[in-house]
A = this chain, B = another copy of it.
Amino acid sequence: MFELDERLANDTVVIGNFPLSVVLMSRDSRYPWCILVPRMANITESYQLTAEQQQQLCLESAMVAKTLMSEFNGDSMNVAALGNVVSQLHVHHVVRFTSDDTWPGPIWGVGEAVPYSDDVLMAMKSRIAAKLATQQDFIAD
């Protein structure tokens, strides 16, 4: 049975669900940052999914990437499945700006997370959920 990795759960809030994946938002306010986690047990790499699930993940990833870039008007979208620290398959979608702290380097493991205030966290969550809700088959949490 699928259970969200504890570290992912601690570092994020749930925004909602696509048919395959739960959509998480990072609690780190430095970047607009969503993570897709397919709700499948014991999957560490995307090629372990069925061909149909891989295509669905690809579709969901494109919807998240496009939505975030359009909403936050970023300079680049970083899409990455790393899994070195948390092995459960999860796909990062991070909006990058030429003005951000770690540009043009990668963000993972660099600097300290800056948490949102509770109000801003909820506002960001609602803002992204509202935009994703215009996409096919997304159900807000």
Contact = CB atoms under 8 A, between A and B. Distances in A.
Interface of A: 44-47, 51, 54-55, 57-59, 61-63, 65-66, 69, 76-85, 87, 96, 103-106, 108-109
Contacts of A105: 84, 108-109
Contacts of A85: 104
24 contacts: A45-B65, A45-B66, A46-B62, A46-B79, A47-B62, A47-B65, A54-B58, A54-B59, A54-B62, A55-B55, A55-B58, A76-B83, A76-B84, A76-B87, A77-B81, A78-B80, A78-B81, A78-B82, A79-B80, A79-B81, A80-B81, A80-B82, A82-B106, A106-B109
Contacts of A61: 46
A82 B82 CA distance: 12
